[in-house]
Amino acid sequence: MTEQSLHNQLKARYTVEGAAVEATVDGYVVDVVRDGLLIEVQTGNFSAIKDKLGALLGSHRVRLVHPVPRIKWIIRLDRNGAQVSRRRSPKRGRIEEVFYELVYIPEICETPGFELEVVMVDAEEYLIDDGKGSWRRRRWSIHDRKLVDVVERHVFRCPNDYLDLLPEGLPQEFTARQLAKASRLRIRLAQKMVYCLRRMKVLEVSGRKGRANLYRVTR
């Protein structure tokens, strides 16, 4: 699977006059270095960049840029690369989906100098009929992803910034299931959200409700 096009298109958007691209910093290749800020574009797999972030944050400001598709068009290619169909996915992306990746680096969000920028994008996903993909996609492989438009940008500079993603009207003490219902999220995503916020130390367990933990914002 490759997302090279989406990665390169986003990287180009952060490259301004005077910026260094693919620069080596402390032994690591960094996507963009601009005005003393190291910018890394990561379309997925935050676990792969965890050690790199930890090392660079020892003496640099680092911004991790992650795209979340708001609207996605699925384009199918035959095994020769010719387009056979194009349709819009019924699923609409949410900013909270970043927590699917943040579960691998929640402690880094506490590190001074670290910023996360979630970029809501409209994108195209190219599937190719090569027989090597997931059974969920009927063996079609993800061939590439391409940027159509940048819709919104959200920058998180400290753990407290993530509390803005908690919905209004949430009880002072709440379960992951209550969070899922109030936010209209899948329970699995709500569970990852509370896990990350606990590891960032902005949520704490305050008790139990049946078999579920109760959470509250730390004082």
C-alpha–C-alpha distance, residues 133 and 140, integer Å: 5
pLDDT in tens, 81-103: 899 999 999 999 999 999 999 99
Q: How far is CA 108 from the centre of its chain?
A: 14
Where in the chain does DSSP place strands (E)? 20-25, 28-34, 37-41, 61-77, 83-88, 114-128, 141-156, 203-209, 212-217
C-alpha–C-alpha distance, residues 150 and 37, integer Å: 21
C-alpha–C-alpha distance, residues 214 and 206, integer Å: 5
C-alpha–C-alpha distance, residues 184 and 170, integer Å: 12
pLDDT in tens, 146-157: 999 999 999 999
C-alpha–C-alpha distance, residues 26 and 31, integer Å: 13
Tell me the pLDDT of the chain averaged across its residues: 93
Q: Using 50, 70 and 90 to split pLDDT, how confident is the model at 1?
A: very low
Question: 118 vs 68, 71, 169, CA distance in Å?
Answer: 7, 15, 24
Strand bridging mode 203-209 / 212-217: antiparallel
Radius of gyration of the chain (CA): 19
Burial class (CB in 10 A: 0-12, 13-18, 19+), 42: buried
Is-above-0.85 flag for pTM?
yes
Burial class (CB in 10 A: 0-12, 13-18, 19+), 35: exposed
Strand bridging mode 114-128 / 37-41: unpaired
pLDDT in tens, 108-152: 999 999 999 999 999 999 999 887 766 676 778 888 999 999 999
pLDDT in tens, 34-84: 999 999 999 999 999 999 999 999 999 999 999 999 999 999 999 888 999
C-alpha–C-alpha distance, residues 173 and 164, integer Å: 16
- Structural domains in the chain, sorted by start: 4-157 (no CATH), 163-219 (1.10.10.10)
